[in-house]
Amino acid sequence: MTVSLASFATGAFARYNDCTAPLPMTVNIPSVGIPANLPNGQTIPGARASFSIPINCTVNPGGVWWMTASSGAFSLVSGYSDVYTVPGLGAGIGFRIRDSSGATMTPINNAGSFNTFQFGTAQLGANIVQGSFELVKTSDAVVGTFGFSAMVHVQNQEWANNGAQASSTVSFKYTVTGTAVPTCSVTTTDVAVSLPMVSRSAFTGVGATAGTTPFGISLNCASNAKPSISLTDAAAPSNQSNVLTLSGDSTAGGLGVQVLYQMQPLPLGPVSYAYSGSAPVTNVTSLGTRSGDTSVAFTARYIQTAPSVNPGTVKAVATFNLSYN
């Protein structure tokens, strides 16, 4: 286990009331369906949520932002180097916290207990504490709802919200619905869609679309599987719109690409759920109940994203992931 050591005074007593944030917050993964054939050590499909906590301070608190467990310590799950557990979690599932760059975080030693994740430097004005929470199957999971809470603070200086621990907490929760969820395998993992050549005159203003082209993703599903799909923009993974960014080797300008399912543009995002308040933004779209060999019908199209369009080549890449209920 690799740890970062820090020596600080015991406790998390805030001396000032100078910061505000949209807390308390609950980061919830509401339905964890674990595929029957998912190996131990794998991240559970769809069981990842991001959090973004804007904090505004009227003074410079100094130090760094901590997220400290409200009770107990974070401990490594036996046999793993980066999967943790904490009192309150159910058996068979561990978690990772990742920072805003996607790197797995390691808890630091706070007064003899590895109960704290360390985020960015605290400063006057706008601050942000952000990362993601993901679940990993470590053995047969217990069905139920589980979680833990943590407090956001600058040690011995500031609580994140209104000078109080109770109003500066983040709760991480998940619900396990079962361990034998039927799944699908993807028959063709790389799908190339050739959009037609269209005239610049087809684009009459921002939001105009053209070149709608059907395509399909072929699946082989166990009986009564309930897959959902999520898309991530390969050129801009943090993109949470419904327009794919053009890749660097495109020569056209003022355009993007949309992927549609049942005539609706699919939302984009790096995780299944994203929290910056109490209500999540989700980029998960249900594909209904499916069995056996099946093809899921989609369409792709150009969309105008700027007042003027420059002719040239267009290329956009999306990564798709399947999760299950």
Q: How far is CA 88 from the centre of its chain?
A: 22
- pLDDT (tens digit per residue) in 49-63: 999 999 999 999 989
Give, rounded to a whole angstrom, the gap between the first and last alpha carbons of the chain: 34
- What are 16's strand-pairing partners? 158
Mean predicted confidence (pLDDT) in 296-303? 96
The vertex-110 CA angle with 109 and 113, nearest 5°, equals 70
pLDDT of residue 271: 82
Q: What is the pLDDT of residue 179?
A: 65
pLDDT in the model for residue 151: 96
Verify cis geometry, omega within 30 degrees of 0, for the bond prior to 24. Answer: yes
* 98/33: higher pLDDT: 98
pLDDT digits (tens, 9 = 90+) for 259-270: 999 999 999 988
Q: What is the CA radius of gyration of the chain?
A: 22
Write out pLDDT tens, residues 118-144.
999 999 999 999 999 999 999 988 889
pLDDT at 10 over 70: no
The pTM of the full predicted model, rounded to 2 decimals, is 0.77
Stated as kind and residue range, the H or E segment containing 32 is: strand 25-35
Q: Domains, the chain, ranges and CATH?
A: 4-181 (2.60.40), 184-324 (2.60.40.1090)
